[in-house]
Amino acid sequence: MVAAFRSNLHFGAEPRAGRGNYRQMDRGSKPAVLVTGGAGYIGAHTAKALSERGFFPVVFDSLSSGFREAVRWGAFVHGDIRDARAVAEALDEYGAKSVIHFAGLIEVGRSVVQPDLFWEINVAGTTSLLTAMRERGVERMVFSSSAAVYGQGGRGPLETIPEDATKAPSSPYGDTKLACEWMIQAQCKAYGLSAVALRYFNAAGADPSGLIGEAHEPETHLIPLAIAAALGDGKPLTVFGDDFDTPDGTCLRDYIHVNDLAAAHVAALEVALPAGAYEAVNVGTGTGNSVREVVEAVGRATGRPVPHSIGARRAGDPPSLVANASRAKDLLGWEPTCSDLDRIVADALRWEAQPAYGSGRRATSRKIESTN
Ligand code: UFG
């Protein structure tokens, strides 16, 4: 498969002389892929999947929210995507002709109060990255987009979302992801880049190895917070609203195992596309679970009820986000294989009980000590 990918994308450009040759030896004949944000949650799982598929991931990360401990496959370059020169040097150094772009801010709630920062890092950062990519002749990009580009629009709570659905982001975070998509699409047309924007639904779970997992600081995502509450770190979960127009009144989301998501990136890198092509693809399961259902699943997995209370709605939260995932299958040949909610929660729990890095480690160590 790697061989097919190489012939499709004309891989094999040799790095520069000198240090570049050393880097070539370092990775053998494996095609290098620059992975911005590769020390983060989804980036690290994707780096592992790339390595297992015969690629050489070059993680380019500022470590502002990622973890050095999460970089275990390929090489690491410490840098910021807004520094086009540093990106260009990393591309040169490893002879990378493809980029998977994760780096950026992700917290929906924070984007509502700090929209300027989100535009600076997510949009200006992607502009800068694209400039370096164009200068260095990068041929394929996979972009970390989001279901947040859809918002609720006029959609009913039980309707799944196809890629051509109305785009009505309900947060500045979603605005920035949509703006990046437009910019990437325009550059594909203008400069012959081919790109796939993957619109993630709710990434969750962890690699069963226990080496990498979810470690956001601060943690804002439902599943790790529900697990922490069940295991008794002192903070009950707040359910953000139970008066939505959904079957049980809590928000519906499409939870996708992070390893399924990682596999979608490899498929998007390998799919044959002509120069100039731009494709947007949902990455979800097509099944929605409510916040209440997640709380119950965490209760089953931990054997303890999740202490929780009902709070106000969180700004920027659409009532439901569930993918129509048929395009991923048709275009990428990708389907989820491990995204059953109980499996996701079991893998998340294994990680949260013994995280290899991140603040969860400290909280959990305290908790395990106090319960043992
Ligand atoms: N929730 C709670 N209490 C919490 C945390 C979350 O009730 O303490 C609820 C939220 O209101 C939401 C659901 O749980 O209904 C999931 O919330 P998350 O914060 O786990 O995830 P989001 O749906 O807000 O966002 C995630 C990613 C975004 C992406 C989005 C797309 O973080 O980047 O999925 O679906 F855009």
The CATH number of the domain holding residue 199 is 3.40.50.720
Q: Is residue 244 part of a domain?
A: no
pLDDT number for residue 5:
36
pLDDT number for residue 286:
97
Confidence of residue 9 (pLDDT cuts 50, 70, 90): very low
Closest C-alpha residue for ligand 1 atom 34: 202
Q: Is residue 277 part of a domain?
A: yes
Residue-wise pLDDT tens digits, 227-275: 999 998 768 999 999 999 999 999 999 999 999 999 999 999 999 999 9
**The Cα angle at residue 18 between residues 14 and 19, in degrees rounded to 5:** 85
Q: Is residue 15 part of a domain?
A: yes
Whole-angstrom distance, CA of residue 279 vs CA of residue 342 = 31
Give the other-Cβ count within 10 Å of 107's Cβ: 18
Kindly give the number of the ligand 1 atom that is closest to the alpha carbon of 106. Answer: 33
Q: Is residue 371 part of a domain?
A: no
Provide the mean pLDDT of the chain. Answer: 90
Mean pLDDT for the stretch of residues 105-130: 95
Q: Phi/psi at 285 (nearest 5 deg)?
A: -105, -20
pLDDT number for residue 4:
36
pLDDT number for residue 317:
84
C-beta of residue 87 within 8 angstroms of C-beta of residue 104: no
CA dihedral for 250, 251, 254, 256, sign (positive or negative): negative
Number of domains in the chain: 1
Residue found under tokens 């048709």: 330
Q: Is residue 180 part of a domain?
A: yes
- Residue 370 Cα, ligand 1 centroid: separation in angstroms? 29
Residue 10 has pLDDT above 50, yes or no: no
Residue 367 has pLDDT above 50, yes or no: no
- Residue 172 Cα, ligand 1 centroid: separation in angstroms? 15
Closest C-alpha residue for ligand 1 atom 12: 251
Q: Is residue 339 part of a domain?
A: no
pLDDT number for residue 217:
83
Residue 2 has pLDDT above 50, yes or no: no
Mean pLDDT for the stretch of residues 191-218: 96
Confidence (pTM): 0.91
Boundaries of domain holding 38: 2-22+29-205+256-283
Q: Is residue 291 part of a domain?
A: no
Looking at the DSSP assignment, which residues form a beta bridge with residue 107? none
Residue-wise pLDDT tens digits, 146-198: 999 998 778 888 899 999 999 999 899 999 999 999 999 999 999 999 999 99
Residues with Cβ within 6 A of ligand 1? 106, 108, 146-148, 201-202, 220-222, 225, 237-240, 251, 253, 291, 314, 317, 321
Residue-wise pLDDT tens digits, 17-41: 334 445 666 688 999 999 999 999 9
Residue-wise pLDDT tens digits, 88-101: 999 999 999 999 99
Residue 7 has pLDDT above 90, yes or no: no
Residue 218 has pLDDT above 60, yes or no: yes
Q: Is residue 132 part of a domain?
A: yes
Looking at the DSSP assignment, which residues form a beta bridge with residue 200? 146, 283
Residue 125 has pLDDT above 90, yes or no: yes
Name which residue leads in pLDDT, 324 or 218. Answer: 324
What positions carry a catalytic annotation? Answer: 173
Looking at the DSSP assignment, which residues form a beta bridge with residue 194? 140
pLDDT number for residue 360:
53
- Residue 45 Cα, ligand 1 centroid: separation in angstroms? 20
